[in-house]
């Protein structure tokens, strides 16, 4: 499996220049059976990264370009009357797949956004009282542009909480941008040459192994204390939810597994804490008046909670 992981990372990094850390975080979320929100300005490679993962994982993939006229039935499907059978027949929507690429998810209405709530949590949709399961594995990779409010609808906190991580690509360095320009001028663009490395069955096996990674009670306690520090904080209106602590544990397991360990250590939790926590925290007015950023709050939380010493053998 480690060989497969290296091949996945190499394929993705052959397309995405200089964003190895972000690529690894997304892969961790997929291994932890979570969903990914990519939030950044236009043109920095969000959709390219999502498409690269779709190709390299070899999964059944559907892409939805969310717009103001996208309706819930486009996503979850609908029932139509079949005259021949004399009954209503379910017509699957875009959600009936393994990997859904939700492009510019904040460009659609709140009603359409809410159509994803059930399926992101339970891997199923309910249409006309009947439940329909999605494919397995099931992953949502969504992108959104936080700059400019024209034609956008902010995701509600309940939906943000369903994304395991939120990452930002950021601008490339000068050297990285030169490399991007060179690749874009090539006759055959690199992203068109990505080959599948794994299939659905292999990915499910990887996810199973990640789920079996050992977590010591001290690590569980450390995660709970970190969550408590975000809730009982002078700068937060809303801290890390219990769903957030579950996501934090799952991501820590994936981080450990990706680093070749069968057990979680405190550094695993610390490494993935920002990307799991930032989109779940809401700052209060005191923080806004004091110009306190979420990054600063997260840094102080990590510094304030003592790191457990793992002296016992696993």
Q: Over the stretch 201-226, which tens digit does the pLDDT of each residue have?
A: 999 999 999 999 999 999 999 999 99
User: What are the DSSP calls for the chain, one per residue?
Assistant: -HHHHHHHHHHHHTTS-S-HHHHHHHHHHHHTT--EEEE--TTSSHHHHHHHHHHHTT--EEEEE--TT--HHHHHEEEEEETTTTEEEEEE-TTSSSEEEEETGGGS-HHHHHTHHHHHHHSEEEETTEEEE--SS-EEEEEE--S--TT--PPPHHHHTTSSEEE---PPPHHHHHHHHHHHTSSS-GGGG------HHHHHHHHHHHHT-B--HHHHHHHHHHHHHHHS-TTEEE---HHHHHHHHHHHHHHHHHTT-SB--HHHHHHHHHHHHGGG-EE-HHHHHTT--HHHHHHHHHHHSPPPP--S--
Among 94-103, 119-128, 174-183, 218-227, top mean pLDDT goes to 218-227
Band the pLDDT of 243: cuts 50, 70, 90.
very high
Q: Is the pLDDT of residue 93 over 50?
A: yes
- 258 pLDDT tier (thresholds 50, 70, 90): very high
Query: What is the per-residue DSSP string for 228-251?
Result: HHHHS-TTEEE---HHHHHHHHHH
**DSSP three-state, residue 47:** helix
Tell me: pLDDT of 104 over 50.
yes
The proportion of the chain whose per-residue pLDDT surpasses 90, expressed as a percent, equals 45
Among 17-31, 106-120, 176-190, the range with the most confident prediction by mean pLDDT is: 17-31
Considering only 80-94, 160-174, 226-240, 257-271, which range has the smallest mean pLDDT? Answer: 80-94
* Average pLDDT, rounded, for the chain: 88
Q: Two tokens at 54?
A: 């779709």
Say if residue 147's pLDDT is above 80: no
The pLDDT value recorded for residue 194 is 79
pLDDT level of residue 314 (50, 70, 90 thresholds): very low
Query: Which token pair is 151?
Result: 């034609």
- Joined tokens for residue 302: 């990590």
Average pLDDT of the residues in 27-42: 92
State pLDDT tens for residues 162-193. Answer: 999 999 988 888 998 898 888 777 655 555 67
Residues 265-300 pLDDT 10s: 999 999 999 999 999 999 999 888 888 899 999 999
Residue 107 pLDDT level (bands cut at 50, 70, 90): confident
Average pLDDT of span 35-51: 87
Q: Where are the beta strands (DSSP E) in the chain?
A: 36-39, 61-65, 77-82, 87-92, 99-103, 124-127, 130-133, 139-144, 165-167, 236-238, 282-283
């Amino acid at each position: 499996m480690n060989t497969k992981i290296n091949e996945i990372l190499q394929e993705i990094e052959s397309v995405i220049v200089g964003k190895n850390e972000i690529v690894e975080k997304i892969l961790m979320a997929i291994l932890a059976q979570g969903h990914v929100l990519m939030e950044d300005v236009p043109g920095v490679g969000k959709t390219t990264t999502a498409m690269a993962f779709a190709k390299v994982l070899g999964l059944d993939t559907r892409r939805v370009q969310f717009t103001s006229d996208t309706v819930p039935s486009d996503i979850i499907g609908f029932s139509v009357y079949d005259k021949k059978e004399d009954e209503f027949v379910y017509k699957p929507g875009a959600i009936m797949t393994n990997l859904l690429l939700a492009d510019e998810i904040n460009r659609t209405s709140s009603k359409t956004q809410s159509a994803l709530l059930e399926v992101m949590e339970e891997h199923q949709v309910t249409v006309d009282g009947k439940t329909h399961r999605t494919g397995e594995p099931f992953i949502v990779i969504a992108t959104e542009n936080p700059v400019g409010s024209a034609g956008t609808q902010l995701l509600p906190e309940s939906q943000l909480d369903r994304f395991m991580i939120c990452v930002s690509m950021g601008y490339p360095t000068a050297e990285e941008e030169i490399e991007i320009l060179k690749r874009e001028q090539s006759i055959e663009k690199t992203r068109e040459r990505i080959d599948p490395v794994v299939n659905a069955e292999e990915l499910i096996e990887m996810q199973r192994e990640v789920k079996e990674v050992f977590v010591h009670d001290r690590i569980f306690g450390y995660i709970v204390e970190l969550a408590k520090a975000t809730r009982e904080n002078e700068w937060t209106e809303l801290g890390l939810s219990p769903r957030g602590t579950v996501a934090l544990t799952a991501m820590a397991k994936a981080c450990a597994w990706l680093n070749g360990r069968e057990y979680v250590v405190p550094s695993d939790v610390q490494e993935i804490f920002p990307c799991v926590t930032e989109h779940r925290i809401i700052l209060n007015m005191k923080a806004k008046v004091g110009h306190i950023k979420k990054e600063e709050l997260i840094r102080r939380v990590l510094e304030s909670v003592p790191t457990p010493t793992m002296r016992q053998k696993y």
